Chains A and B, each alone.
Chain A
Amino acid sequence: MKLEMDRDRSRREILQAAAALAGGVLLSIRPAAATPEMMKDAVRAVIGEAPVKKGKVNLDLPPLVENGNSVPCTVAVESPMTAADYVKAIHIFNEKNPQPNVISVKLGPRAGRAGFSTRIRLADSQTVTAIAELSDGSFWSDDIDVIVTLAACIEDPKP
């Protein structure tokens, strides 16, 4: 009986040690994630101190993502896209990837329609923001909350 207990305890100790080790490894390989503050700084670095209003922009991402390595992402901005009134630039930012920037696009009236699609990486469930700069100097934005079940950026490569 004593032998049984000993074995039981040592098994528990080994399990605890293994869990601690795994936790340590996970912490050490995980790169420092961006924070919402870093995202705000990145936004300010790109657009300056201009106020950003909600609206006009439509950011389309699936609300539930199984694999953060490739997430389809579409932005469309309401704009006539004429020489007098057009979208100059569209930027996408995220809160929790290692880096807050995703993509910055320059457009002009030649585009005809203000928008683009791409595929992005998401390291965690987070808010993704798109900001459009119009030719009159105003900034408009849209946010979307995305839940990610398998994160990108930090997974181990296939051996």
Chain B
Amino acid sequence: MARALIHVPATAKKGEIIEIKTLISHVMETGYRIGVTGQPIPRDIIEDFACTYNGEEIFHAKLYPAIAANPYITFFTVATESGTLAFSWTDQHGATQVQTAAITVE
């Protein structure tokens, strides 16, 4: 679907609170703008973002057109164990993009 950038620390101490930064390239077209032809530009929105840590959901966001283009979201989690963080973005048509990042917890 699109290019996504994820920043997760490669290593963390057990119990440490880590910050996760995500950005995906997407127009987030509101559907309220008028195009050059005079017709409204159709709405195209990522509506759902979720992050799982070894399969357990740690963050879930429902996005509305008021989120700026190229949605950038940062949040926190506790580094509990080594494993995989999976990020998924779902647009209004149901298309999902999943990207993963590995973390080593000492």
Given the known interface contacts A104-B62, A111-B76, A112-B78, the answer about A118 and B33 at a Cβ–Cβ threshold of 8 Å is: no
Q: Taking the nearest CB of chain A, how far is it from the CB of B31, in angstroms?
A: 9
Give how many A-B residue pairs fall within 8 Å (CB-CB): 108
Contact: B30 with A70, CB < 8 Å? no
Contact: B76 with A112, CB < 8 Å? yes
Q: Size class of A's contact patch?
A: 35 or more
Contact: A118 with B78, CB < 8 Å? no
A156 to B33, CA, bound (A): 7
Contact: B61 with A106, CB < 8 Å? yes
Q: Taking the nearest CB of chain A, how far is it from the CB of B61, in angstroms?
A: 5
Q: Taking the nearest CB of chain A, how far is it from the CB of B68, in angstroms?
A: 4
Mark contacts of B54-98 with chain A using CB atoms, 8 A cut-off: 1 yes-contact digit, 0 otherwise: 001111111111111101111111101000000000000000000
- Most chain B CB atoms below 10 A, which of A99, A115, A118: A118
A159 to B22, CA, bound (A): 30
Given the known interface contacts A71-B68, A121-B30, the answer about A157 and B36 at a Cβ–Cβ threshold of 8 Å is: yes
Partner of A110, one of B35, B53, B67, B69: B53
Given the known interface contacts A104-B62, A107-B59, A112-B17, the answer about A119 and B33 at a Cβ–Cβ threshold of 8 Å is: no
Contact: B77 with A112, CB < 8 Å? yes
Q: Taking the nearest CB of chain A, how far is it from the CB of B19, in angstroms?
A: 8
Contact: B69 with A103, CB < 8 Å? no
Partner of B58, one of A97, A102, A111: A111
**Is there a chain B Cβ closer than 8 Å to A55's Cβ?**
no
Partner of B75, one of A115, A122, A154: A115
Contact: A116 with B64, CB < 8 Å? no
The residues in A between 101 and 146 inclusive whose CB is less than 8 angstroms from any CB of B are 101-108, 110-113, 115-122
Contact: A102 with B68, CB < 8 Å? no
A104 to B68, CA, bound (A): 15
Contact: B62 with A103, CB < 8 Å? yes
**Is there a chain A Cβ closer than 8 Å to B41's Cβ?**
yes
A-B contact pairs, 17 of them (CB 8 A): A69-B68, A70-B69, A99-B64, A99-B65, A102-B66, A106-B57, A110-B78, A111-B77, A112-B77, A113-B17, A113-B76, A117-B75, A120-B66, A121-B67, A153-B33, A154-B32, A156-B36
B-to-A contact residues, CB < 8 Å: 17-18, 30, 32-36, 41, 53, 56-69, 71-78, 80
